[in-house]
Amino acid sequence: MHLITIGDNVVDRYTSRGLMFPGGSTLNVAVFAARAGIKSSYIGIVGDDREGRLIRSAAEAEGVDISLVATLPGATASTNVSLVEGDRSFAGSSKGVSVFVPTASHLTAVEKAHVVHTGHSSVMEHHLSDLAKRTPLSFDFSDRHEDAYLERVMPYVQFAHFSASDLSPKETARLIERALAFAPRSLLVTQGANGADYFEDGEHWHQPAMPTQVTDTLGAGDTMIATLLARRGQGVPPAAALADAAAAAAKSCTYFGAFGYGTPLAEAVSAQDHAIEYSME
């Protein structure tokens, strides 16, 4: 299976710790797909700064194909992250040079993949038709639940992913009903400590949250999306794939940053020097 992700990347700035980490929803999915054992490529833009170099070197260290990552003059996208008892929140961000229009080369690459993944943070809504007509589209809605947004995006989506951790059970049930009305191939709705619900081919599975030591929840949802897509692409049955995805998400909560490679804000260093050891075992 070959997964291509297209869209956002950022450096997550943990100012209270004096560190920055490579991240961004679609980059995170590419990294965790590679960790799950499938071919993974990322398409995006970084700036010609040390933040951009960190993102490139970290992705390469993880085995992600970045041959279609461009470097432009300017700043790499960034966001400021704060933690309250391990739960991440964002306090200010800059898109930098990260927003772009897919090129003919990008679309040709997408045609050769089994799945293309993007999400609401990538500002790709105007290009979903071009992506979806070439290969099945996976989309991370995160907490974008409003009816108008679903009407705009869901017609193009085969693999839909939502975060409902801020919704009540009644609101979550309504979201699921609305999303399934568009007949996606699959639907994942994560609910934080309440676990996740997964729908595929008219069947439903519930996965309880895995016990874990929470250090930082940043990237947990991306981890679950990537691992689930990878496992299903590898032919793993839905219940087992969902359990693997939950275990990977729990593991990602045990360290700072989405996938490691913490680097001092004041000084750039090699990504290899700041890798984390990651294992599904």
- pLDDT, position 94: 82
Give the relative orientation of helices 220-233 and 25-35 as an angle to the nearest 10 degrees: 50
- pLDDT, position 272: 46
What is the average pLDDT across 242-259? 94
- Give me the domains of the chain, ranges plus CATH numbers: 2-274 (3.40.1190.20)
For residue 153, CA distances in Å to 7, 32, 52, 200 come to 16, 24, 30, 19
Mean pLDDT of the chain: 91
Q: Is the pLDDT of residue 84 over 80?
A: no
Interatomic CA distance for residues 244 and 238, integer angstroms? 10
What is the average pLDDT across 182-196? 95
Query: How many Cβ atoms from other residues are within 10 Å of residue 88's Cβ?
Result: 19
* Backbone torsion region of residue 255, taken as left when φ is above 0, otherwise alpha when ψ lies between -120 and 50, otherwise beta: beta
What is the average pLDDT across 74-88? 72
- pLDDT, position 268: 44
Q: Is the pLDDT of residue 279 over 70?
A: no
- pLDDT, position 79: 86
- pLDDT, position 218: 87
Global pTM? 0.91
Interatomic CA distance for residues 109 and 33, integer angstroms? 17
